[in-house]
Structure 1
Amino acid sequence: MTDQPQTSTDKPSESPADNAAPTLEAEAVAAYLQKHPQFFAEHDELLTAMRIPHQRGDTVSLVERQLKLLRERNIEMRHRLSQLMDVARDNDRLFDKTRRLILNLMDATSLEEIVITVEDSLRQEFQVPFVSLILFSDNPMPVGRWVSSEEAQKAVGGLISGDKTICGALREHELAFLFGAEQSKEVGSTAIVALSHQGQHGLLAIGSRDPQHYKSSVGTLFLSYIADVLARLLPRHTHPLRSVR
């Protein structure tokens, strides 16, 4: 059995519950507070949200000005604290991933394990979309990507001349050398560091599609740590590889 729609033309009577309570006007609020002067003493939590100016004409009292500044500084400090907490959490995650990677590299027993460990960790653990590990030698080995020192200097020599990580947008031929012609079209920004310890043994580059992701102001401490470890481990597995000075 189904309900049938109402067909009566009579309008149903309205009850007070059918309508929303009318908005209290300022006079009604004032009248209520006059009758209940203890209201704010019993509800002091409302005082922090109130704005009560102490002014005469165009002047503002010192107390009001101080309270306004304190509120603004309190809000600013809370925002800064929140940002610091976010940065701390990100650094904790980066440290944990870097620690696992370095320990795995130290446990590696072959060049193949080193290359696979670095590339897999950066892509899967660190979620880096573009990774390039290039090793230098005039006598390439069957594992990894190898180029001669002359070829590397010609393509990206200016980027790996020092010990610091370089971040930013690179030129087309530099991106093509690092990531290949096809992938280079998708790379918006790059961080690149030389694997240097008693000579240069290669380079490590990571890329992002976001042009602003890797820039001069970004922190590269963890990438530098990884590069330092690689620079010390690679010569143990690449003899008779001659490092480039």
Structure 2
Amino acid sequence: MSQDSFPAIQELDPLLVQEYLQDHPEFFVEHPELLATLRIPHRDRGAISLVERQQGVLRERVNQLEEEITALLTVAARNEEIYRFYSELLFDLLALESLDEVQQALASRLRAQFRFTRVRLMVATAPGSFAEADVASLLKRRLDGRGYYLGRLPAQEALGLVGIETGSVALVGLGEPGRWSGLLAIASHDPSHFVPEMGTMLLDQLKQLLSFRLQHRQG
């Protein structure tokens, strides 16, 4: 076979080289001398060896993993702080005697902890009926089957309910669906604070406690 029948080196497909090396991981074990002679262009250091390049990639990956671990630990610490806050808040609310005290403590504690713009506990005058005539119809439109609405509201609805036109809200129906005994409305100026896909585990606990307090209200 003549030499011309072989493809020229410059015409060799890089993908074929990549696939060959992936299929033959022992290649550099059988040809260790290549590790010392191969040179790879580097943006800051000129040409470096393959081993140096591998070490650099590993260092970059280690740094990336360290940053990810730090971020996860930060999130975990924040989640623990929020969990502890809600646990203490629930016990404190149980110890209060009147609904007025519950409303005041709830608003002041949530606003101080999360810098919410408005925290409002609305109590129904009768099951499913509120002093503001439009509240019942708003709940019927907005609350899902579990009694939640998380996200943004049209400016007119948000202004009438929580006093701000922009941002995001959490609406929590208290009591039985369709016969709500109350509504907890929380507003944040941050449009992304409350979003439909967020979890409601902590709000579930607050919802149960407030529903219980409204059922056994003492004024």
Name the TM-score, length of structure 1 as normaliser.
Answer: 0.61
Q: Quickly say closer, same or farther: Cα 1:65–1:133, change in 2 above 3 A.
A: same
Unaligned runs of 5+ in 1: 1-52, 140-145, 240-245
* 1:1-245 equivalent positions in 2, closer than 5 A: 55-56=38-39, 63-138=51-126, 147=130, 151-163=134-146, 165-179=148-162, 183-185=163-165, 187-196=166-175, 200-237=180-217
Change beyond 3 A, Cα 1:57–1:106: closer
Residues 56 and 93 of structure 1: CA distance in aligned 2, closer, same or farther (over 3 Å) = closer
Helix, strand or coil: the match of 2:97?
coil
CA displacement at 1:62 relative to structure 2: 5.2
- TM-fit CA distance, 1:216: 3.2
In angstroms, what is the RMSD of aligned CA positions? 3.2
- 67 and 54 in structure 1: CA distance in 2 versus 1, 3 angstrom threshold: farther
* SS across alignment from 1:194: strand
- Quote the offset at 1:107 in angstroms: 0.8
Change (3 A) 1:137 1:79: same
Residue 210 of structure 1 and its aligned partner are, at CA, apart by 2.1
Kindly provide the amino acid, as one letter, of the partner of residue 104 in structure 2: I
1:183-209 CA-to-partner distances (Å, cap 9, x unmatched) read 323x41112222235853222121111
Whose radius of gyration is greater, 1 or 2? Answer: 1
State the number of aligned residues: 178
**Aligned-pair CA distance for 1:238:** 5.9
User: In the TM superposition, what is the alpha-carbon distance from 1:236 to its structure 2 partner?
Assistant: 0.5
**1:22 paired residue number:** none
Write 1 or 2 for the structure with the bigger share of helix. Answer: 2
Q: What are the superposed Cα offsets for residues 32-56 of structure 1, whole Å, 9 maximum, x if unpaired?
A: xxxxxxxxxxxxxxxxxxxxx9633
Structure 2's unaligned 5+ residue stretches are 1-35, 42-46
